[in-house]
């Protein structure tokens, strides 16, 4: 999986539309964002103390009652809608944070903070926020750590033009993973993981800096225009260009065989990326393609991955909202299962979006990886046997020549080498999320 194209998921911002998806995959900052959110008290729990009749600049007074401010039960116009962050207790369908029902523990406590602290609703809310934190942490761990062996083997299969076995099914992928692990040890399947995080950090920083010093929008509002979308996609393209040499260095680290590889340093990805951009460092062969020749396929893949995943996410969220809206409105707000289910719609949408984009763009990703690895004197594992090494000696002249060569020498299925690793990766992700959901659902049921 290309690190920065799959990296991340659009978020919903309060009243501002969809926040831009960054590079990487993989979903990394998105989850860090909402994990950090868990430690912040929700706006729905901080009860406003405003006098009755207060309406901004038009306020003309209001009398305070002995027991506190005379606040109406309907405070919908005072409660702002927080970002729709998976795992947050404020993740509800619709644009407004729903108020507590009269029969719920928080609704019964009224707006007195002391009674809320001493009431039984505090433990329930803490448990649900803890459940959201755990579910998000499990998703983050699966995407960036547990699934890394699948990414390693997937990339090795994609760049191995010698391979006779294409590993299109998960069964052959698991078998070759076992062979490589037996011959070289566990490190062979976890190599290059640190460099993928470095690439994600570089892309995030580059996108933030460019958006701060240019008029290019990092987010797209609901009232979008073609000019705004064009500027947003241009920002994404520039971010991919900046991260491109570091992505090449990260790709080499993940496919290089552990047999002939020295112990790499944590910052080797940065050093190699800068050397690739400046034209110095480790000597390469004359077949090495210049970064200018890699710019178009890299930007094309990144932008298409972002556009496809964003569209699929919107569609899935809309379908889930349409399907679950009646049940959510009729269920008791204190139901443990209904509150737990509120954490999953965006995780499901993000999962489906990333899966669809990876599957649709897999042939383009194969071409992209072969162009990046050419001329770098990289030696990879033999994905047919699992205990030998092979050199990469391709001589593609560019993107079009690479496509024609793969089609002529390896057939159309040559573009899908290692596709079984994608099946294993997303199956593992689904299993971990489902297991985490069942675990926290059982825990909350027992506590309640």
pLDDT of residue 187: 87
pLDDT for the residue numbered 86: 42
- Whether 207 has a pLDDT exceeding 70, the answer reads yes
Distance CA 222, CA 67 (A): 42
Long-range contacts of 96-103 (CB under 8 A, 24+ apart): 97/43, 97/44, 98/333, 99/73, 99/74, 99/75, 100/333, 101/332, 101/333, 101/334, 103/332, 103/334
Instruction: Give the pLDDT confidence of 233-270 residue by residue, as tens digits.
Output: 999 999 999 999 999 999 999 999 988 877 777 788 99
- Please tell me the pTM assigned to this model: 0.70
Query: 150-188 pLDDT, tens per residue?
Result: 999 999 999 999 999 999 999 999 999 999 999 888 888
The segment with the largest mean pLDDT, out of 55-64, 221-230, 406-415, is 406-415
What digits encode the pLDDT tens for the residues 59-80?
A: 444 444 444 444 444 443 333 3
10 Å Cβ neighbour count for 349?
A: 24
CB 355 within 8 A of CB 425: no
Which residues, other chains included, contact 252 with Cβ-Cβ below 8 Å and sequence gap of 6+? 272, 373, 376, 378
Beta-carbon contacts of residue 330 (< 8 Å; ≥ 6 apart): none
Max CA separation in the chain (angstroms): 85
> Nearest-CA neighbor of 444 among 132, 141, 142?
132
**pLDDT band at residue 142, thresholds of 50, 70 and 90?**
confident
Report the alpha-carbon distance of residue 448 to residue 123 in Å, rounded.
9
Q: What is the DSSP letter of 142?
A: I
Query: Cα-atom radius of gyration of the chain, to the nearest Å?
Result: 25
Most confident of 114-118, 141-145, 398-402: 398-402
* CA separation for the pair 439, 396 (Å, rounded): 50
How far apart are the C-alpha atoms of 159 and 380, rounded to whole Å? 9
Rounded Cα–Cα distance for residues 321 and 324 (Å): 5
Is the model's pLDDT at 39 over the cut of 90? Answer: no
Return the percentage of the chain with pLDDT > 70, whole number: 64
Q: Taking the alpha carbons of 83, 87, 89, 92 in that order, is the dihedral positive or negative?
A: positive
Residue 113 phi/psi, 5° resolution?
-65, -30
pLDDT for position 7: 39
Percent of the chain whose predicted confidence (pLDDT) is above 90: 43
Mean pLDDT value of segment 420-437: 89
Q: Would you state the pLDDT for residue 325?
A: 63
Rounded-to-integer distance, Cα 173 and Cα 189, Å: 12
| Residue 230 or 101, more confident | 230
User: What integer pLDDT is reported at residue 45 of this predicted model?
Assistant: 41
């Amino acid at each position: 999986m290309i690190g920065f194209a799959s990296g991340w998921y659009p978020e919903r911002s309060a009243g501002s539309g969809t926040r831009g998806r960054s590079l990487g995959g993989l979903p990394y900052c998105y989850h860090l964002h909402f994990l950090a959110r868990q430690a912040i008290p929700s706006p729905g729990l901080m009860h406003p103390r405003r006098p009755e009749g207060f309406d901004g600049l038009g306020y003309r007074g209001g009398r305070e009652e002995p027991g506190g401010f005379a606040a109406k039960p309907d405070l919908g116009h005072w409660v702002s809608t927080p970002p729709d962050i998976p795992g947050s207790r404020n993740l509800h369908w619709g644009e407004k944070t729903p108020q507590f029902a009269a029969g719920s523990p928080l609704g019964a406590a009224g707006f007195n903070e002391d009674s809320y602290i001493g009431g039984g609703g505090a433990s329930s809310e803490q448990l649900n926020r803890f459940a959201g934190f755990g579910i998000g942490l499990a998703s983050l761990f699966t995407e960036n750590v547990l699934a890394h062996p699948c990414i390693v083997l997937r990339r090795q299969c994609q760049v191995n033009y010698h391979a006779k076995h294409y590993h299109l099914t998960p069964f052959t992928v698991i078998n070759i993973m076992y062979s490589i692990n037996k011959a070289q040890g566990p490190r062979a399947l976890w190599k290059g993981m640190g460099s993928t995080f470095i690439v994600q950090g570089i892309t995030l920083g580059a996108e933030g800096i460019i958006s701060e010093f240019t008029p290019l929008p990092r987010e797209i509002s609901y009232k979008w225009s073609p000019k705004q979308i064009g500027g947003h996609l241009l920002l994404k393209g520039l971010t991919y260009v900046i991260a491109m040499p570091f992505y090449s260095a990260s790709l080499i680290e993940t496919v290089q065989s552990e047999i002939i590889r020295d112990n790499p340093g944590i910052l080797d990805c940065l050093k190699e990326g800068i050397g690739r951009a400046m034209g110095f460092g480790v000597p390469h062969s004359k077949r090495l393609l210049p970064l200018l020749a890699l710019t178009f396929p890299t930007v094309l893949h990144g932008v298409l991955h972002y556009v496809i995943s964003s569209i699929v996410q919107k569609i899935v969220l809309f379908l889930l909202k349409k399907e679950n809206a009646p049940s959510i409105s009729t269920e008791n707000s204190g139901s443990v299962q209904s509150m737990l289910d509120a954490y999953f719609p965006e995780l499901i949408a993000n999962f489906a979006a990333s899966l669809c984009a990876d599957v649709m763009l897999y042939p383009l990703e194969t071409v992209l990886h072969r162009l990046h690895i050419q001329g770098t004197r990289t030696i990879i594992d033999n994905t047919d046997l699992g205990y030998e090494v092979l050199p990469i000696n391709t001589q593609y002249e560019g993107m079009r020549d690479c496509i024609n060569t793969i089609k002529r020498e390896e057939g159309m299925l040559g573009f899908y080498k290692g596709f079984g690793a994608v099946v294993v990766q997303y199956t593992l992700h689904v299993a971990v999320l489902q297991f985490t959901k069942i675990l926290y659902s059982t825990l909350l049921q027992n506590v309640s």
